[in-house]
Homo-oligomer: A and B are copies of this chain.
C-alpha cells in the first residue's frame, strides 16, 4: 500500500487549543531560551552553549562546558525559531537567528567538522567515542535546524555548513575500507539526513542514512571495539538490555521488540521508516511495522507515553506498564509522534494517526505547564506526592513541572514539535489530500497541478464537529481522505448540507470528487465519554478503566476529588452516567467530566491493618475528571488515570 504523501507545511493553524501553547512558545519560550543559551538568565545554571561556540571559533579563551551534546541546544532552538517564523514572520527574531547561525558557523573547521566539544578539547579525539559522546546526535540536530531554517526562510548559510559537515562525517565514517564502521550512540541523524536529502536530492545523504541504519548492531560490534580502544568498561554490562540500550545489540532487521532507551529507540525507528520509504525497501518497512506493533500494542501507555522504567529511561518487557514508576519521558512521546508520522508516510493507515493523536493530546503536552514555562521529563499516570519524596522507585516522578533542566532535552523538543504542528495535520500526494488531525485553520496543497485549500472550522478536541470549506482552485478533482479516529464509534458526513455516504477504509473516509469553491463538507464525529479497558495482559491495569473523550484521556486530581484516590472506584457507573461541561475559566478552558463513583472509607478500621471481620464501607462520591494533559497546574496533589471499575 502507498503512503500518505508529503506533510511539510500543508496546514495553517488558527486554533485556540494549540495557539495557547504556540503563542507562549513564540513570545516567551524562544526569547527566554536565547537568553539561557547565552548565560544571561539570572538564577539559572549557565548553559555555556553559545560560549562554547565562541571559544571554538577562537573568539575567546576557555574550556568546553556543559554536556558533550551541549551544541544541540542551540540547534533545537534554531529549529523551533524557524518553525515559528513560518506562521509568524518576525524580522527581529530572524536577525537573532541569523546571528546565532553566524556564531555556529564561525566555529566550523576547514574540513567541515563542527562540534565544539572536540574543537575545543582536541580534534585528534573526534569520532573516537560515537557511542557516548553524541557527536552524530549533535550533527543530526544541527542538520534538522539547518533544513528547517532553510525551509522557513530560504537562507542557506547553515544548510551549506551542514552539508559540509556531512561531507566530513561521510569521509570518516562508512562502510568503505579505511573508514570507521561506526554509527551514533544516540540516533537522530538518520531522520536528519533524510530531511537533508529531501532538500538536496543528493544520493550521498540518503546513502549515509541507510548506512547508519544498516550498520547498527553488525558484528563485530563497533561499540565493543570502540570501548576496547578507549579502555572503557561498558556501563550497561550488567543490565538486561546490554547493547540494546542503544538498539545496537543486533542489526535492525533482526529486531522485533522496542528495547532500550525509549527516545533513542523511537528516533531510530523513525529514521528507519524514513530510509525504508525513500529506498522502497520492503524488508525494512516490515521491520518498522513489527517494531511499531510491539511498541503500540504492548509497550505504550494509554496516554501515548512510552518507556516503562527510569532505569535506562527505557523499555522493559511486553505488557509491563506501571503507572506510578513509569518514565514516560516527554521526548519519548514526541519521538513516537515522529515515528507515527513516518509510518503514515510509509502507508496511509489511520492506526498510525490514531497513535500520533493519542500521544500529542496526552503524553506530549502533559510535559508542559499550561503557561508554557515549566516542563515534565516524566509523565506518570498515577502520583502520590509522599511517594515521590519517600519511595526511591518514584523519586524521578515529580509532582510539579520544573522550570528547566540541566539536561535540557524535553523543553526544546516540545517547543519544536508544537511550533511545527502544521507538519502533522494533513498530507498530500498526487491525487489525495489526507486529513489526519483536526485543528482549526486551513489545509493547503498542490494536487494535480491545482492549488487546493480547505478552511477548517472546529472546536476539536472539545467536540467532534468539523467543517471543511473548499477555498482552493475550482474544478480540482481529488480524493479527500478524512481520518475517522479509532476512538470514534459513529460519525456522519454532510456535503453542502446533504447527508453523504463515504467508504471508510484503513481508517479514512474518502470523498472523491471535483471540488468547487465554497463546497462545504461537515464531519460529525460522535464524541461520547468512553470507559477504556486495557488488554487483560497489562497487569498493572487489571480491574481498572481509563476515561477518555475524543482524543483526550482524563484523570482524577486531588484538587477536585480530595486525597486517597486509590480508594475511589467507579462502582459500576457506566459511560452514560458521565456529564460534560465546558469550563472556560478552568485550566485554560476544558471540557470537564463528572460522574458518580464510590469512595471506600476507613470507617470502622481505626488502626487495624488487616482484618477478616471488617467490611470496607463506602460512600457515594461525585467525581470530577480533567484532561490528563492539564494535571499538575494547581496545588500539588495526587493524580490517577486508571481507576477501579
Contact = CB atoms under 8 A, between A and B. Distances in A.
Interface stretch (A85-93, A160-168, A278-286, A606-614): A606-614
Interface stretch (A109-117, A292-300, A341-349, A445-453): A292-300
A535 B605 contact: yes
14 contacts: A240-B389, A298-B607, A312-B392, A322-B391, A487-B612, A532-B612, A533-B614, A533-B616, A534-B609, A535-B602, A536-B601, A537-B605, A539-B567, A548-B612
Given A535-B605, A542-B600, 11 more contacts: A293-B607, A297-B608, A308-B391, A316-B387, A320-B391, A393-B393, A487-B612, A533-B615, A535-B611, A536-B601, A539-B564
A357 interface: no
A543 B569 contact: yes
Contacts of A293: 607
B531 A612 contact: yes
Contacts of A616: 533, 536
A389 B611 CA distance: 34
Contacts of A309: 391-393
A288 interface: no
A569 to B, nearest CB: 7
A310 B296 CA distance: 31
Given A296-B609, A320-B391, A612-B548, A644 B534 contact: no
A491 interface: no
A612 B391 contact: no
Interface in A609-644: 609-616, 644
Nearest to A312: B392
Contact of A610 (B302, B387, B615): B302
Contact of A392 (B310, B533, B613): B310
Contacts of A74: none
Given A300-B609, A536-B602, A607-B297, A317 B386 contact: yes
Contacts of A240: 389-390
A602 to B, nearest CB: 5
A391 B384 CA distance: 21
A264 B156 CA distance: 67
Highest count of chain B CB atoms <10 Å: which of A297, A546, A601: A297
Nearest to A316: B390
Contacts of A607: 293, 297-298
Contacts of A602: 535-537
Contact of A530 (B535, B537, B612): B612
A317 B393 contact: no
A311 interface: yes
A325 interface: yes
A538 interface: yes
Contacts of A487: 612
3 closest A-B pairs by beta carbon, nearest first, are A311-B392, A530-B612, A539-B566
A317 B391 CA distance: 8
A78 B272 CA distance: 65
A220 to B, nearest CB: 26
Contacts of A584: none
Nearest to A537: B602
Interface string A367-395: 00000000000000000101101111100
A610 B535 contact: yes
Contacts of A605: 535-537
A317 B390 contact: yes
Contacts of A300: 609
A489 interface: yes
Interface string A300-316: 10100000111110001
A609 B297 CA distance: 5
Contacts of A393: 309, 311, 322, 325, 393
Interface string A316-328: 1100101001000
A564 B537 CA distance: 7
